[in-house]
Structure 1
Amino acid sequence: METRGNQLAPPTPSTDVSNTPTSERRDTDEIDPSLELRLMHGWTAYACKTFATDVEFWMYQVPLIALQFRPVLDSVLAMAALHASRQPPKQWVPTEGRMVPLRDVTYDPAHPYQDVNNTGKPRSMEINEAFLNRVNHAGNNVYLASKRRSEMLAASRFYFERAIDGYMRSLQDLSIENIEAIFVTSVLCSFHACFVLSESDEDSTLPSVDPVQWMRIGKGTRFIRHRWADLVGSVWLGTSGVLNGKPGIMMDDPTLFNTEHGRPFLKLLTYAQDFETIHAEDRAIYKDVLCYIGAIYTMIVEHTEDEVAMCRRIVGTASWNDPSFTDFVEARQPRALAILAHLFACMKLIAEKVPWFDGIAERQIPKIYDQLPAGWRPMLAWPIAIMNGEIDREPTETQIDDILAL
C-alpha cells in the first residue's frame, strides 16, 4: 500500500479482487476457441469503441499484445463478453448489409442469415414467415435475450477471473519486457470491475460487485504506472498511448486537484468534524478526492471533455488518487462512503452517453445509504436527488449548496 511520503509497494495476494478460489475455476481445456474468436471480433468491432478515447490503440495494438500475454487476452475477452451480455441478440442480414436485432422486422425474410450469437458455430437458415413470427414473438425475444445474457455473463466472469489470476502472478515479476502488458491488463480489469457495479448482487455468474474490488485494482494500476516510470522514465510513459487516452492526457494534471473545482463538495470534508477527528494527512487525501470529483463534475457541466473521456477519468479515480482512500472505503469510513456516492452520482449524469454507467448509481447509492450511520445520511441528499432525477441533469453549484446546507 502506498501512503503519502512512502515508497510504493506492490499489491499483495490479500488484495486479490476475486472471491472465487482458483481450484473452482475452469481449466484451459474448457476454453471454446470459437467463443474466443467471436469475442475478439466483438472487441474490435464494438466493445473497445465504447469506453476508449484512443480507439486505435485499443482496437489494433491491444489485440497484438494479447497474442503474447494471456492475461491481456483474458481481460479483453472478459470486457467483450460483458459488452455482449448487454446487447440484444442479432443476426446478419445480407440485404441489409448489417447485423439486425431479432426484434427488428424490417429485413427481407426470404434471404438466409447466419445465427452468430448463441452456438458459436454459424449455421445458415432460410427464414420463412413462420420462423420470423416465432423469433420475433415477445416471449421468445425475452427468452433469447435472457439466455444469451446469462451465457455471456458466465463467459465474462470466467475470463475476468483468469485475467486477475495472471495479473496477480505477474505483479511479482515486473520488468521492462512485460510491464506494458501488465498495465493494460490492470486497466481493462479496472473497467470491468467498475462496469459490473450495475449488476445484481444475487447474480451468481458475476464476481463481487462491491466497489472495493474495483478500487483495489485501481491501486494496482497506480503502482504499475509509478513502477513503469521508474523503469523507463515518465516522458516515454506519457507518450506510449497506453494511458487510456491520447499521449499525456491522463498524466498527473494539477488542475484535477484544483480546490476551486472541489468547492461545491467540500462540505463533505468539514461535516461532523466536531465529532470525528481527521488526521491532517487523511484530511489532505479526502480533499484531493473531492477536488478530483469536483473537476469531473465541472467537465460534465461545462462540456469541456466528451463523455467517453470523462468515463475514463471516473473509472481511474482510485488510480489517480492516494490509495489510502481505497483503504478508507474498504474500512467503511462514513466520509469515504459519502464521497464515493457523489462519484456514483457523476456516473448517473453521463449515463445516457456512457451506457456502461447505466444503473450503477441506482444500485450502489442505496447500498451506501444503508451502510451509513443515521447522522451521515443527510450527506447523500445530492446523490439521491441525482439518482431519482429530482433535479436537473446538470445541476448548478447553487443547487448542490442548497441540498448540502442541511
Structure 2
Amino acid sequence: MPPRRSHKKSRAGCRRCKIRKIKCDEVHPRCGNCVKHGVPCDFEHPEAIADIQSISAASPASPSTGSRTPFTPASALDFRSPLLHASDPALPSLRAGASGPGREPCATPLYRPPATPSLSTTTPAAHRLLELRLMHQYTAMTCKTFTFTAPVTEEIWKITVPNLAFSGSQHLADAILAVAALHLRSLCPNDKDLVRASHAYMAASLAEYSATLTKGIDSSNAESLFLTAALIAFQSTATRVFMKDELSMGTGERQDGQVKERNTAAGCYAIPFTWFHSFQGVKAITAASWQWLRASPVVLQVINSQVVLQLDFTTGPDTFFGHLLDGIDEELDELGRASTQNSNMPMDGGSSSSMGAPPSSESEGRSASAEVVTSTRQAYQHAVAVLNWAHKIPHKGAPLAFPATVSRRFIELLEERQPRALAILACFFALLKSMDGVWWLQGMARREVLGVVSLFNSDFFGPDSYRKWWPHLEWAMRIALYDQPEDGGPIPAEIWGADWYAEEQALAEEQEQGNYYRHIEMLTQMISPVQSVPAVPE
C-alpha cells in the first residue's frame, strides 16, 4: 500500500466547527460549514462566540446544537420535528439489525416516529425560555400600552391577537415577540440578548410579512396583516428611543427653493421617516384589504376605539396652529414660478427663449406647476388641521393620527427639508409630551423637538432662518422643555394652550358615530393596492 499522506492538524478553525467537532475549511469571512447551515461565523462576527458558547453549555450532549443561535426567530427554528433522527441522543438505540433475547436480527428499523410531533433536541433550552419570557411580557404588560381609549381593545391585543398568531400567522407571532423584546429592553437597556432578540424577530416578521403581501391579500390573511402592520408601526416608533443622536441630515446648497446637492454630515439630526412610513403602511394595508376588514369584528373594534377624527380646515389666527400657515401664499407663488421654469427648461440644456418652446410644452408646464402648488397647499392645510384637532385631546392618543393621515406630498416636503414642513413637524412632536409616560414614547417630545429646532440653527437654511421661524417654534420648545409633575397630570391649560378635559367633553357632544368607518370607506377609493412594505426598523 502507498504511504499515507502526512496531515497537518490546524487549530485555526472557527469556534462553531470546533464545538461541533467537524473540520473547518477556514475560509474567511465565513467558513463553508457556517455558510451551509446559514448561521453566524465568528470569523465574520467575533461577538457570536458568546452565543455559541451559551448554546454549547445549554446542551452539551448534542453537538448539533452548535448550529443554532439562541436568538434565531421562531420561524427559522425547527421547534417540532415530525421525525427525530436516529442518531439523536435522546432516543434509545433502535437501529436496523438490532437484536435481543429471543429475537432475530431485523433488516428494517424498529423505531417508528410518533403520531404527534416531538420537541426537537436541536432547539436550545435558552431559546425556548426566552420566548416564554417574551410571551409573558407581552400578555402581562406590553399589550396594555397599545390603547389609550377603549378597554375592550386591551382584551383584543392580549387574547385575540395571540390566538390569531397561534393559528398559523408566523409574521404576527414574530411581531408580537419583537415588540415584547423591545419593551423588556426599555426596562433592561444593557441586556444584549434582548437587543439581538428584538432585531431578529422583527426582521423575521418583516420578511414573512413581505412574502405574504407578495402572494396577495385575501379573506384568510387580511386580519393578521393589518395587526402585523400595526405592531410594525409600534416597533418602528419605539426603536427611535434607543437610537443615538449622531444621525445625519442631508446638507447642501439651496437654489430656487430646491436642494441642489445633498451631502451627509455626521452629528446632525435626522428626521425619523420610519415613523411616517410605518404608520402610512397601516393606512395602505387598511385601504387595500378593507373589503375583508370591514367584516372583521376584531379590526372594527380596534378602528372604532380611536378618537373620531374631526378636522376643521379654517385657517388664520382663530385656530391654535393657524400661524403655521402665515406667508404661505408668497411661498407658493415662488414655488409655482420655480416649477414652471424647471418644467420648461430644455432637456439638452439649450435656451428655450432662443429656440422657442412649443405652446403645448408651455401649457403642460403651467399645468404641472399648478398641480404642485395645489397639492402643496392642501398638504400644509391638512397637516395643520390635524394638529389643531389633536391639540385639544392629546391624552386620548390623538397626536398619533398625524403620521398616519398626512399626505404623501407633506412627507415629500419633509424630505426636501422645507422650513414650514419642519416647523409643523416640531409642533407634532411637542404634542407627544402628553403621552410621555408611555414607554415607547417616553422622552420623544424633548428629543425630537430639540433635533428639529437644531436644523434652523444650522447653515442649511441660512443665518436668518432661526429668527424668521422662531415665533412658529416657540410653543413646541416650551412644551418639550416642560417638566411634568411626577403624578403625570395634564399640562396646565395656560402652558398647553387648551384644557384637555373641557375640550374632550365639547368634542364628545358633537361627535358623530362611525366617522372613522366612513373615512376609511372613502380612503379605499383613493389608494391603490399595496405595492411595498415598511422598511426594517433601524
1:337 and 2:398 are equivalent in the alignment: no
More helix as a share of residues: 1
What's 1:16 paired with?
none
Amino acid at match of 1:232: W
Amino acid at match of 2:411: T
Amino acid at match of 2:292: V
Provide the TM-score with structure 2 as the length reference: 0.50
1:255 and 2:310 are equivalent in the alignment: yes
Relative distance call for 1:69 and 1:393 in structure 2 (3 A) is same
SS in 2 for 1:383: helix
* Superposed counterparts of 1:19-30, under 5 Å: 28-29=76-77
* Superposed counterparts of 1:362-373, under 5 Å: 362-372=446-456, 373=461
Deviation, 1:181, is 0.7
What's 2:163 paired with?
64
Q: Distance in 2 between matches of 1:363 and 1:254?
A: 27
Q: Identify which of 180, 201, 218 aligns with 2:244.
A: 201
Q: Identify which of 159, 166, 178 aligns with 2:208.
A: 166
What's 1:36 paired with?
131
Q: Distance in 2 between matches of 1:329 and 1:181?
A: 31
Deviation, 1:220, is 1.5
Amino acid at match of 1:156: S
Q: Distance in 1 between matches of 2:481 and 2:424?
A: 18
Deviation, 1:156, is 1.4
Q: Identify which of 298, 313, 326 aligns with 2:411.
A: 326
Q: Distance in 1 between matches of 2:181 and 2:293?
A: 35
Q: Distance in 2 between matches of 1:202 and 1:154?
A: 21
Relative distance call for 1:203 and 1:248 in structure 2 (3 A) is same
Relative distance call for 1:263 and 1:167 in structure 2 (3 A) is farther
Deviation, 1:215, is 0.8
Structure 2 gaps of 5+ residues are: 1-37, 41-70, 78-122, 248-268, 336-371, 485-489, 499-538
Contact 1:262 1:290 in 2 (8 A): no
What's 1:295 paired with?
389
Deviation, 1:249, is 3.5
Q: Distance in 1 between matches of 2:420 and 2:318?
A: 15
1:393 and 2:468 are equivalent in the alignment: no
Deviation, 1:34, is 2.1
Contact 1:365 1:384 in 2 (8 A): yes
Q: Distance in 1 between matches of 2:325 and 2:475?
A: 15
Q: Distance in 2 between matches of 1:23 and 1:284?
A: 50
* Superposed counterparts of 1:351-366, under 5 Å: 351-352=436-437, 354-366=438-450
Relative distance call for 1:34 and 1:258 in structure 2 (3 A) is farther
Deviation, 1:359, is 1.1
Relative distance call for 1:389 and 1:254 in structure 2 (3 A) is closer
What's 2:281 paired with?
220
> Superposition RMSD on alpha carbons, in Å?
3.5
- Sequence identity percentage: 24
Q: Distance in 2 between matches of 1:382 and 1:285?
A: 22
1:284 and 2:368 are equivalent in the alignment: no
Q: How many pairs align?
A: 302
Q: Identify which of 135, 140, 143 aligns with 1:45.
A: 140
Deviation, 1:40, is 0.9
SS in 1 for 2:310: helix
Structure 1 gaps of 5+ residues are: 1-21, 88-144, 301-306, 401-406
Deviation, 1:397, is 8.7
RCO comparison, higher one (Cα < 8 Å, 6+):
1
Deviation, 1:327, is 3.0
Relative distance call for 1:383 and 1:62 in structure 2 (3 A) is same
Larger radius of gyration: 2
Contact 1:199 1:363 in 2 (8 A): no
Amino acid at match of 2:234: F
What's 1:232 paired with?
292
Relative distance call for 1:398 and 1:247 in structure 2 (3 A) is closer
Q: Distance in 2 between matches of 1:180 and 1:213?
A: 23
Contact 1:197 1:363 in 2 (8 A): no
Relative distance call for 1:361 and 1:80 in structure 2 (3 A) is same
SS in 1 for 2:285: helix
Contact 2:293 2:299 in 1 (8 A): no
Q: Identify which of 150, 170, 177 aligns with 1:77.
A: 177
1:266 and 2:322 are equivalent in the alignment: yes
Q: Distance in 2 between matches of 1:61 and 1:181?
A: 11
Amino acid at match of 1:294: N
Provide the TM-score with structure 1 as the length reference: 0.65
Contact 1:197 1:364 in 2 (8 A): no
Amino acid at match of 1:214: W
Residues 337-386 of structure 1: per-residue CA shift (max 9 Å, x gap):
2212111111113313x343211122212221233425264132211111
What's 1:11 paired with?
none
Q: Distance in 2 between matches of 1:269 and 1:396?
A: 23
Q: Distance in 1 between matches of 2:321 and 2:209?
A: 35
Relative distance call for 1:327 and 1:168 in structure 2 (3 A) is farther
Relative distance call for 1:221 and 1:233 in structure 2 (3 A) is closer
What's 2:107 paired with?
none
Relative distance call for 1:317 and 1:275 in structure 2 (3 A) is closer
1:380 and 2:380 are equivalent in the alignment: no
Contact 1:264 1:397 in 2 (8 A): no
What's 1:156 paired with?
198
Contact 1:285 1:325 in 2 (8 A): yes
What's 1:94 paired with?
none
Deviation, 1:246, is 4.7
Relative distance call for 1:164 and 1:202 in structure 2 (3 A) is farther
Relative distance call for 1:275 and 1:295 in structure 2 (3 A) is closer
SS in 2 for 1:358: coil
